[in-house]
Amino acid sequence: MIQKELRRLYYKCINYLSFQWSNLRPSGPKVLFKRFPANIAPDHHCILCNIRSSNRLCRSCQETSLIKPQYQCTCCGVMMHHHALFCGECLKDTPDFDRTFSPYLYQPPLSNMLISFKQSHDFYAGKTLADIFVKDIKQHYMQYHLPYPDFIVAMPQHWYKQWKRGFNHAIFFAEAASKHLSIPLFKKVIRRKNTPDQKGLSRKQRLLNLNQAFDISTILNGEHIAIVDDVMTTRASANALARELKKAGAGQVSVWVLARTPK
């Protein structure tokens, strides 16, 4: 009975492989690419309203579907239910960074786009998000007449995590901001430790995890540095990097994240 089943599977595999081979053989591997229309990359449809758009989200959906928090902590960017300068956590335990700019809440469709960018390498979703992020940073700094930081640093990833994913999404956002705002990138930082996800850990565990996680190989002279990342869930990573940047001589540290996870 088992032998019969194995033989059936064996012939099924052979049939499938010979069918695939006969498909490929006439023109070689080019057949693989012929299945996709040549202009698939720029010819998108908005994922929400399905109209043709050069972005994953058309302009009108960008304005209506991305959720902006009404009140936020000026220090860590967490959403609050009433107007106040700082949230309870920042009042109790002031972080090492000075302020956070985080224009959106980590909710669909933004969260779905971010996941498809990071996990399925959908760089068009990534580009759409980067464009939105940079536009918001520009608008915020103009509205409040704030000076831009001297450098932008992408939240570093441990080499193993980066190798597994194939790229560091924070560098993608940081490069977009650096290019459009004409702020140089600060690259003299690496992540020494491959830290697990900080969510769900106690404060003590988070501190222990991130203790000496970053290494900065230069001395700073009071510069203002902006840390760029996609999402802030806990303040732990940004705080640990800000601490190291200040130890190296940074004067001010801002955090720019596209979205903040609601509590």
Binding site for Zn ion (CB under 5 A): 46, 48-49, 58, 61, 73, 75-76, 87, 90
- Using CA atoms, how far apart are residues 174 and 187, in angstroms rounded to an integer? 11
Which CB sits closer to Zn ion, 135 or 165? 135
Minimum distance of Zn ion from residue 92's CB (angstroms): 10
Question: DSSP 3-state assignment of 256?
Answer: strand
Which CB sits closer to Zn ion, 79 or 220? 79
Contact 206, 234 (CB under 8 A): yes
Can you say whether residue 212 is alpha, beta or left, with left for phi > 0 and alpha for psi between -120 and 50 degrees? left
Minimum distance of Zn ion from residue 205's CB (angstroms): 20
Minimum distance of Zn ion from residue 258's CB (angstroms): 17
Minimum distance of Zn ion from residue 213's CB (angstroms): 21
Which CB sits closer to Zn ion, 73 or 226? 73
Q: What's the token pair of residue 235?
A: 């303040």
Q: Where are the alpha helices (DSSP H) in the chain?
A: 2-24, 30-34, 59-65, 88-92, 110-120, 123-143, 159-165, 169-181, 203-210, 236-247
Which CB sits closer to Zn ion, 228 or 232? 232
- Using CA atoms, how far apart are residues 101 and 69, in angstroms rounded to an integer? 12
- Using CA atoms, how far apart are residues 136 and 132, in angstroms rounded to an integer? 6
Which CB sits closer to Zn ion, 9 or 85? 85
Q: What does residue 44 show for φ and ψ, rounded to 5 degrees?
A: -95, 170
Minimum distance of Zn ion from residue 59's CB (angstroms): 8
Which CB sits closer to Zn ion, 46 or 216? 46
Minimum distance of Zn ion from residue 125's CB (angstroms): 13
Question: Nearest-CA neighbor of 97 among 155, 28, 177?
Answer: 155
Question: Nearest-CA neighbor of 176 among 245, 230, 233?
Answer: 230
